[in-house]
């Protein structure tokens, strides 16, 4: 068995990068798309109320007494309000700070205490709905201060936009491109060279992760100059998680490209995978309070674990040990994807 040639891998790596940089439209879009989304959402949610209805309710009573509440029935039964039980004040505050809840209220407070993240674009409206439920009843409502830094919605959204851009670039930049090469006969010509399937796939994934990280770093620091994003933990750890996520998504794209011969079918398959992943991986919004089956499906997507780890580092100052599960899952699934892709890969159409 011949050993892989680093020289051939390097030659394919360079050739693939030249191809990408010469395609000015694709190259420019990789920068403009996330920038436009970040700026658009930054302007959209600046001093603007946006309707959401997730209200966390906690009680200091014993579990058998938690059915009792001092909250108005008009609030609890409002069709626009989703009541989400939380275990404790501390757990509720953490979810509120990270935009998983819009309002936090005490179930049995004589003063009807509530907590609000003032930086949330949805919190102000949730507060108004809560206060309106007391009109005519002459009951107090006491606003409490949150413990900890109030994460801006844009800080919560920012890694989701970057991860989404990475997902589309990885899946389409690997999966679709290789299928196109197979269809136009380029792979068949490469088969006649000493290049092995492992070397070719290695070059593809190395080229893609280089381009993904290059684009991500430029966009990150460019957007940071405008909006001054806060990273509570290690910025190096954030980039390391993005690196693992980029490898994972690129390896997933290789599976789709391993035997595909139709560009139309590849396009449909990529859309079928990428769009549900985008909506169920908390790119745009939290899934807090969603049905259990939706939460279980979301755990199947690598994008979910990527964003969970990155947001934990950015907003909660999580360490590598804290996000070890996400790192392990991304690494193991990447190896699995690469193994499957190398086993089923075909040069011929």
Question: Do residues 140 and 182 both lie within one domain?
Answer: no
Question: Do residues 261 and 179 both lie within one domain?
Answer: yes
Average pLDDT over residues 26-42: 64
* 103-106: strand order across its sheet: 82-85, 54-58, 103-106, 114-115, 143-144
Question: Do residues 197 and 312 both lie within one domain?
Answer: yes
Listed in sequence order, the residues at least 6 apart from 153 whose beta carbon sits closer than 8 Å to its beta carbon are 45, 99, 119, 120, 121, 122
Poorest-pLDDT segment among 176-185, 219-228, 263-272: 263-272
pLDDT value at 44 more than 60: no
1 is a domain residue: no
pLDDT tens per residue across span 85-137: 888 888 888 888 878 888 888 888 777 888 888 777 777 777 888 888 776 66
The per-residue pLDDT for 2 is 65
137 is a domain residue: yes
256 is a domain residue: yes
Question: Do residues 20 and 162 both lie within one domain?
Answer: yes
In the listed set 144, 167, 182, which residue is the last one of a domain according to the structure?
144
Domain span at 175: 6-44+152-344
Q: Read off the pLDDT band of 49 (50, 70, 90).
A: very low
Distance CA(78)–CA(96), nearest Å, equals: 20
Q: Read off the pLDDT band of 333 (50, 70, 90).
A: very high
Distance CA(290)–CA(33), nearest Å, equals: 29
49 is a domain residue: no
Average pLDDT over residues 61-90: 70
pLDDT tens per residue across span 260-289: 766 666 776 777 788 788 888 888 878 787
What total number of domains does the chain contain?
2
pLDDT tens per residue across span 92-101: 888 888 788 8
**Residue with more model confidence, 245 or 267:** 245
Question: Do residues 78 and 208 both lie within one domain?
Answer: no
Q: Which residues of 175-207 are buried (b: 16+ CB within 10 A; e: fewer)?
A: bbbbbebbeeeebeebeeeebbbebbbbbbbbb
In the listed set 92, 117, 144, which residue is the last one of a domain according to the structure?
144
Question: Do residues 107 and 183 both lie within one domain?
Answer: no
Q: Read off the pLDDT band of 30 (50, 70, 90).
A: low
Average pLDDT over residues 148-168: 84
CA-derived radius of gyration, the chain: 24
Phi-psi category of residue 202: left, alpha or beta, with phi > 0 → left and psi -120 to 50 → alpha:
alpha
Question: Do residues 176 and 192 both lie within one domain?
Answer: yes
Q: Read off the pLDDT band of 50 (50, 70, 90).
A: very low
Question: Do residues 39 and 58 both lie within one domain?
Answer: no
Average pLDDT over residues 155-165: 89
The per-residue pLDDT for 320 is 94
Contact of 90 with 119, CB cutoff 8 Å: no
The per-residue pLDDT for 341 is 84
pLDDT value at 47 more than 50: no
Distance CA(166)–CA(238), nearest Å, equals: 14
Question: Do residues 195 and 240 both lie within one domain?
Answer: yes
Question: Do residues 32 and 177 both lie within one domain?
Answer: yes
90 is a domain residue: yes
CATH, residue 117: 3.40.190
Contact of 99 with 119, CB cutoff 8 Å: no
How many percent of the chain have pLDDT more than 90?
A: 16
| Dihedral sign from CA coordinates of 134, 110, 102, 115 | positive
Question: Do residues 99 and 218 both lie within one domain?
Answer: no
**Residue with more model confidence, 145 or 10:** 10
How many percent of the chain have pLDDT more than 70?
A: 82
Distance of CA 219 to the CA centre of its chain: 16
Tell me how far apart the terminal alpha carbons of the chain are, to the nearest angstrom.
Answer: 26
340 is a domain residue: yes
15 is a domain residue: yes
Contact of 254 with 198, CB cutoff 8 Å: no
Which of 65-79, 144-158, 322-336 has the highest mean predicted lDDT (pLDDT)? 322-336
**Residue with more model confidence, 50 or 33:** 33
Distance CA(326)–CA(331), nearest Å, equals: 9
Poorest-pLDDT segment among 22-36, 171-185, 204-218: 22-36
Q: Read off the pLDDT band of 327 (50, 70, 90).
A: very high
Distance CA(172)–CA(169), nearest Å, equals: 5
349 is a domain residue: no
Question: Do residues 240 and 132 both lie within one domain?
Answer: no
Listed in sequence order, the residues at least 6 apart from 137 whose beta carbon sits closer than 8 Å to its beta carbon are 72
**Residue with more model confidence, 205 or 3:** 205
The per-residue pLDDT for 66 is 44
Distance CA(23)–CA(7), nearest Å, equals: 25
CA-wise closest residue to 277 among 299, 246, 254, 262:
299
Distance CA(4)–CA(349), nearest Å, equals: 24
Summary mean pLDDT of the chain: 80
């Amino acid at each position: 068995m011949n050993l892989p040639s680093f020289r051939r891998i390097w030659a394919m790596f360079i050739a693939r990068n030249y191809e990408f940089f010469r395609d000015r439209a694709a190259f420019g879009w990789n920068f403009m798309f996330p920038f436009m989304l970040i700026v658009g959402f930054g302007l959209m949610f600046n001093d603007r109320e946006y309707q959401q209805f997730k209200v966390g309710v906690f009680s200091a009573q014993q579990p058998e007494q938690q059915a009792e509440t001092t909250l108005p029935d008009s609030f609890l039964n409002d069709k626009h309000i989703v009541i989400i039980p939380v275990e404790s004040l501390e757990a509720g505050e953490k979810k509120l700070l990270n935009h998983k809840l819009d309002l936090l209220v005490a179930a049995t407070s004589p003063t009807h205490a509530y907590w609000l993240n003032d930086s949330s674009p949805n919190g102000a409206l949730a507060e108004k709905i809560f206060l309106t439920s007391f009109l005519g009843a002459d009951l107090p409502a006491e606003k409490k201060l949150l413990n900890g830094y109030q994460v801006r919605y844009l800080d919560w959204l920012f890694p989701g936009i970057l991860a989404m851009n990475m997902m589309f670039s990885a899946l389409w930049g690997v999966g679709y491109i290789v299928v196109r090469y197979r269809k136009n006969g380029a792979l068949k010509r490469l088969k006649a060279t000493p290049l092995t399937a492992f070397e070719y796939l290695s070059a593809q994934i190395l080229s893609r992760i280089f381009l993904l990280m290059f684009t991500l770093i430029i966009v990150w620091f460019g957007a940071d100059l405008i909006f001054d994003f806060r990273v509570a933990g290690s910025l190096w750890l954030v980039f390391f998680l993005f690196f693992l996520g980029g490898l994972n998504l690129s390896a997933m794209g290789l599976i789709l490209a391993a035997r595909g011969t139709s560009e139309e079918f590849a396009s449909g398959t990529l859309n079928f995978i990428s769009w549900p992943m985008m909506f169920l991986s908390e790119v745009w919004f939290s899934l807090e309070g969603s049905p259990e089956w939706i939460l279980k499906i979301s755990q199947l997507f690598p994008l979910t674990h990527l964003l969970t780890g990155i947001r934990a580092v950015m907003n909660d100052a999580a360490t590598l040990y804290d996000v070890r599960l996400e790192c392990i899952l991304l690494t193991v699934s990447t190896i699995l994807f690469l193994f499957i892709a190398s086993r089923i890969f075909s040069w011929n159409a």
